[in-house]
Amino acid sequence: MDLIETDLDADVDSSLRRVRRETHAVLETVAVNESIALSAFVDLVASSPRIFVAGAGRSGLALRMTAMRLMHLRLRVHVVGEVTAPAIEADDLLLTASGSGRTEAVVRAAHVANSVGARVAAITTAPDSPLGELSSALIIVPAAGKLDRSRVASDQYAGSLFEQAVVLLGDAVFDALWRRSGATADELWPRHANLE
């Protein structure tokens, strides 16, 4: 790949400002338009006997970060597809993220969850998608889909803004639950992985 000679520092600075501006704008929109949904999301996570996270690609990686933080709160959390993940059961929660709401593996997992009486919560850009229709709790993120090249919702590549929002929303859910728990950071720290 040939790189055009430019001022790299200026390019990185411009890119950082773009990412900061876009994530701030999308989270502000979510905070205003989805505040009730965010509260319902937090309550659903808190009230579920077990939480399973499912996503593909970068969205899946973002949810794995959320799973780790929920584990720090001593919640029973599993990553779908890991060999130690048990069967999902009634009243459990399947926490998903899919920008399009059409990712086959995620939609299939939502069907299975519904069929056994588990609840589904989704972070998506597409509320009318198959995943949106299978979910009992939705957070709608007004970000560009992977194939959106219009640059209307985001100037970033593919689903980058959506995936960044998933990370930050997951951290916000964790933060709300942590503060609600009353636990200190020192109480959570011993639960951090020590086999790294």
pLDDT in tens, 77-96: 999 999 999 999 999 999 99
**What CA–CA distance (Å, rounded) separates 163 from 142?**
12
Instruction: State the pLDDT at residue 179.
Output: 96
Measured over the CA atoms of residue 175, residue 181, residue 185 and residue 187, the dihedral's sign is: negative
Q: Is the pLDDT of residue 182 over 90?
A: yes
Instruction: State the pLDDT at residue 162.
Output: 95
Output the pTM of the full model.
0.91
Going by pLDDT thresholds of 50, 70 and 90, the confidence category of residue 3 is low
pLDDT in tens, 96-143: 999 999 999 999 999 999 999 999 999 999 999 999 999 999 999 998
The stretch 28-52 carries a mean pLDDT of 93
Q: Is the pLDDT of residue 35 over 60?
A: yes
Question: Where are the domains positioned within the chain?
Answer: 14-181
**What CA–CA distance (Å, rounded) separates 196 from 194?**
6
Crossing angle of helices 35-47 and 160-181, rounded to 10°: 60
Fold of the 14-181 domain: Rossmann fold (3.40.50)
Instruction: State the pLDDT at residue 144.
Output: 77
- On average, the pLDDT of the chain sits at 92
Which residues are identified as catalytic? 163
Closest of 78, 119, 121, 127 to residue 101, by C-alpha: 127
Whole-Å CA distances, 43 to 13, 29, 48, 119, 139: 39, 21, 9, 12, 13
Q: Buried b vs exposed e over 74-112: b needs ≥16 C-beta within 10 Å?
A: ebebbbbeeeeeeebeeebbbbbbbbbbebeebbebbeb
Query: 16 versus 155: which is more confidently predicted?
Result: 16
Instruction: State the pLDDT at residue 2.
Output: 55
Going by pLDDT thresholds of 50, 70 and 90, the confidence category of residue 6 is low
Instruction: State the pLDDT at residue 69.
Output: 97
